[in-house]
Structures are given as structure tokens and as C-alpha cells.
Amino acid sequence: MTLLRQPRPLPPDVVDFLRRSQCGFVGSNPLVCCELSSRPTITTEPPVVLSEKLGEPPKDVTGDFRLSFLPRRICGKKGTANRIIGGNKTAIGEYPWMALVGYSTSTGTVFRCGASVISSRYVLTAAHCLINLPQSLKLSTVRLGEHDLTVAVDCETDPELGTVISCAPPPQDYAVERSLPHPQFDRKKLANDIGLIRLSRAADVSTEFIRPICLPVGETQGLSMEGKKMKVAGWGATESGTSSDDLLQTNVPVVPLSRCASIYQAAVPITVRQLCAGGKVGDSCSGDSGGPLFQQGDVDDETRFIQFGVVSFGPKRCGTPDKPGVYTRVGYYMDWILDNLHP
């Protein structure tokens, strides 16, 4: 704080130090992790800042009758498209559960958050995408079945001939009937950063291009993810600092919770209700807030995609070394999700 009290403008070396000390963002406000005035006692394991007991399991929702509100028979099945354009780009319809959250402004609708389809009437997103919004933004729309934001209809073309091979139906926009941020969402601590949006009408989720993702049930709710690679997708900011017109994907390794807690301890507490992944080039970025962290798993003896996390926060610069992104762990909120689902 002493550095910030200097006369403005700040000297270049101070600005450079503050940039290097950045450890995340809350909205557009940067978090800066400062060194302690006295060196802490070194232990064999980094300190873990947890508000719950480390071994506390999530509430098992196996057998809950409200699971029938989730279309488990069709969830998590990847789109039939399998031709990847290149790099981290996805094929049209590859992840049909991806959704965009739109906000009305004085100049029109802008998409600032991601979400995932979980049923015909609900998408799952982050709480910070729903409340405490800037005055210039009003939650208004959810878009399903989108791929390239610059075209009205997404079409696949032959890379050599340039001719159209096939086209997807136009994306569908749905008004927001109700937004449901978690009642214990804490903006300062970034805890319980999860929310639901109920669509104004039912979406047809049985198509190739709009389909729900599976949610963790039973033993997958508290499954250890450490060391596993997960997928994250979105239209958010890229390494160049601009948003992508196309839906992008990347793989991020899950890091130990204790290590993540040590990294962020000067800014916010990390709890067992969160997952940390990434810290390498190619990670999810700020524009991906609310989007899903997912991986394949077993659902009714089939290999399907299951959503394990919701993008919550992380370093502003994508892929900052040793600064993983933080995700709300869906398995710990399954009882809350079921409590708020209605036909």
C-alpha cells in the first residue's frame, strides 16, 4: 500500500512491480498479492485456507427424485461434428451445451459471460454474471446453438474447394425469465460463485446443436481431480487480449487445492468447494466467466461429458505461469441446483 501512496503518475518500476504482483481479478478490478512484512514459518506443505473441513464430502444426490428434471438420457453426448478447423478452435456443434449470456446496453446486446445447458429450461453459470453488474449492463438474453458470432448461420466448408458442406440451424435467443444466483455468493471472497438462469421458454435440447451436459451425481460429485486434464471452452478473451468470434477450447490440468490456496491466500480464501486448474498458456480467460469445466466420465454405463466446474476467476492475463484459474466445484452444489429446478 505504501507504493500506491506515492505521487502520480507512479514511476515505471513501481508500475512494473504491481503488474508482476497481480494475482487475479474481481470483475475489472485487479487483485495484488503483497509479500508479508515478516517471513512465515516454512512447513513441508503450503498452507491451505479452507472454510470447510478438508474431508467434508458433498451431499450425495443419488436417488433424488428431482434428478428427473435433468435429461440424463441425452446429456453429455458430443456433437457428431468431428472435423477440427485447427488449433484450439472447435468444430460446429462439437459442444452443443455451450451457451452465451447476453446483456442489454444503450447500443444493443453484448455477450459477457458463458454458461452451459443443463435442461430445456435452465443454464448453469457463475453468480457474478447475474448480480452486482455495472449499471450499463442488464441481464437479458441466453443464446444457444452458437458457434461463430460474426455470421447468422454457421456452415462447414470444404477447406480445399471452399464449397459449403453443411450448415447448422441459426442460433436461438431466449429471454431470461428468472436469474438465481447462489444466496451465499460472496463477492469479496468469491465464494459460492454459481447461479442458474431459467429460460422464458423451453428449448429443444434433443438436437445435434443444442444438448445438455451431464452433471456429477454420486461418487463423481466428490471425485478427486488432482492431476487430471479437463476441458474448458468459451468465446472469451484470448492471449492477445481480444475476444474470439469462434468457440474455442483448451485442456487445463487440475492443480492441488493446497497449492492453489497458497497462491491466492493474500487475496481470497480457497475452499474445498472450488477446483483450480491451469496456470499455463492456453487457459480460460476472463470472458469465459460462467462457462463449464468438463471432462468425460461414466454416465449410465456410457462415456459422456460431465461438468465438474464453473469458471469463476483467475489472472487477467490468460495462461499466467503458476496462477491457475479457479472454478466453482459443481458436485458440492448439486443439492442446491436440484432445489431450484422446476419443470
CA 147 remoteness from chain centre? 17
pLDDT recorded at residue 90: 85
Query: How remote is the C-alpha of 151 from its chain's centroid?
Result: 24
9 band by pLDDT with thresholds 50, 70 and 90: low
Residue 244 annotated as catalytic:
no
- Which residues are CB-contacts of 89 (< 8 A; sequence separation ≥ 6)? 246, 247, 248, 249
Q: Is 16 part of the annotated catalytic residue set?
A: no
Residue 327 has pLDDT above 90, yes or no: yes
* pLDDT score at 275: 95
Q: Note the pLDDT tens digit of each residue in 271-324.
A: 999 999 998 766 666 558 999 999 999 998 899 999 999 999 987 666 777 889
Query: What is residue 324's predicted lDDT score, i.e. its pLDDT?
Result: 92
DSSP letters, 56-98, are: PPPPP-TT-GGGGGS-TTTTTPPPS-----STTBPPTTSSTTE
Strands 138-144 and 172-181: antiparallel
**pLDDT of the residue at 8:** 55
What confidence score (pLDDT) does residue 84 get? 41
Output the pLDDT for position 260: 94
- Is pLDDT of 48 > 60? no
Q: From CA 47, how far away is CA 31, in angstroms rounded?
A: 20
Hey, CA dihedral for 80, 142, 99, 90, is it positive or negative? positive
| Stronger pLDDT, 109 or 56, i.e. the higher one | 109
Residue-level pLDDT at 78: 78
Would you state the pLDDT for residue 26?
A: 44
Q: Given the DSSP bridges, would you call strands 325-329 and 108-117 parallel, antiparallel or unpaired?
A: unpaired
Residue in 119, 258, 286, 289 annotated catalytic: 289
Q: Are 251 and 227 in contact (CB under 8 A)?
A: no
From the candidates 128, 258, 283, 312, give the one annotated as an active-site residue.
Answer: 128
Give pLDDT tens digits for 132-181.
999 999 999 999 999 999 999 898 877 777 777 889 999 999 999 999 99
Catalytic residue (choose from 116, 119, 147, 193): 193
pLDDT at 82 over 70: no
**Considering only CA atoms, which of 195, 210, 198 is closest in space to residue 95?**
210
Q: Encode burial over 329-339: b for 16+ CB neighbours within 10 A, e otherwise.
A: bbbbbbebbbe
Q: What is the pTM of this model?
A: 0.81
Mean pLDDT across 251-261:
93
Q: Let me know if 289 is a catalytic residue.
A: yes
Check the CA dihedral 129-130-136-138 and report its sign: positive
Q: How confident is the model at residue 30 (pLDDT cuts 50, 70, 90)?
A: low
